[in-house]
Structure 1
Amino acid sequence: MTDKRLKTGWQGRYYEDFEVGDVYKHPYGRTVTETDNVWFTNVTMNVNPMHFNEAYAAETEFGERLVDGTFVIALAVGMSVVDVSMNATANLGYDDIRHHAPVFHGDTLFAESEVLSKRESESRDHVGMVTTELRTYNQDDDLVLSLERTPMVLKRSYAEPSAAQPPGWPEGVGTQPEDCE
């Protein structure tokens, strides 16, 4: 006999879990580093010297390099996945993207999502569409980014999550219920 127990962890929200007006403050702020900015700028071939040329940026109104805005978008969306789209089958759109304030190396960003609307799919019984407003703030509570995003999210009855097979795990991998009996 063993004292081992297989416990269910966080498996994300399903379509039924979303209610208009709910706000999810996503866990874990993230400090943006110079490496993040330079790497992302180079990988995406963004040739605006504002992101990678210190001498150039020093002569601008900001006096220093700005973090690439598309990095800020990617980071904010990534931060929201745990609460909004962990069980999405597709992202249908990103709308009304606004950069409200600049982001600099060393800023720590925090994100939250508010559910604006939801509707069942007309062509797919197993999903529904959820539209959220994603808002991102820096450590000084300055709103730096907002956008609307609409993922297509699984309904719980079609996902059938379990402790033995959480989302993303193939059947039979790792500890199984019979290992705990």
Structure 2
Amino acid sequence: MKLLTEKGVQATPMSAIAKAAGTGMGTIYNYFATKEELINAIYLYIKSLEIQFITQRTHDESSLKIKFLEYYKAFVDFNIHYPECFAFMDQLQNSPIISECTKDEGKTEFLPVLELIRKGQEDGIIKKMSMDAILQFLAGTLTTYVRWMLSIEENDRDQYLDQQMRMVWDALKE
């Protein structure tokens, strides 16, 4: 993952990946027929880690607003705690290398988030807008915010999270 984000997909041959993993080319090709297959597997692995991280930090008993903000904060925390995963997803999640099948599989991990937004729309708490538009907005705010947080001193980060969450909530609430 680190090689792919530092050097780029085209400049990272499978031989370099095998060497960094401490294994042989044959071993890698036993599991992944192509570099694209490996990249798709990394994508799904990160999605799995992300959802595990997030579900440990959210509570079912919370109000819709609090639960939504818990999800958002957990997404931020995950990406700040795992900057290599963030860099990989930031660079490759919209790449044609990630197959539609892989993207669809990755989305199934986030059904609770989608359901929360749908419920908020049904209850008149969240604006009735296209789910794709809402998800693009949230992904954009999250990505930009995490990039910023990773570029500043760690002890300066806490003061901004509440402001970020308030702005995101204010943009979505009805």
What is the TM-score normalised by the length of structure 1? 0.24
Structure number with the bigger relative contact order (C-alpha 8 A, sep ≥ 6) is: 1
Q: Which of 1 and 2 has greater Rg? A: 1
More helix by share: 2
